[in-house]
Amino acid sequence: MRPYSSPRPRLLLVMQTPDADAGRCARKLRKRGYRLDYCYPLSGQSLPSEMDGYLGVIVFGGPMSANDDDKRRGIRAQLDWIPKVLESGQPFLGICLGAQLLARVLGAAVRPHPMGLAEIGYFPVEPTVVGQTLFDAPLHVYHWHHEGFELPAGAELLATGERFPHQAYRYGANAFGVQFHPEVDRTIMESWLVEGAEELRHPGAQSATEQREQHLRHDAALDEWFDRFVDGWF
Report the alpha-carbon distance of residue 59 to residue 123 in Å, rounded.
22
Catalytic residue among 143, 166, 181, 215: 181
Q: Is 195 a catalytic residue?
A: no
> Of 119, 140, 145, 183, which is the active-site residue?
183
Identify whether 150 is a catalytic site residue: no
Burial category of 233 from C-beta neighbours within 10 Å (exposed 0-12, middle 13-18, buried 19 and up): middle
In the set 39, 96, 145, 215, the catalytic residue is 96
Tell me the catalytic residues. 96, 181, 183
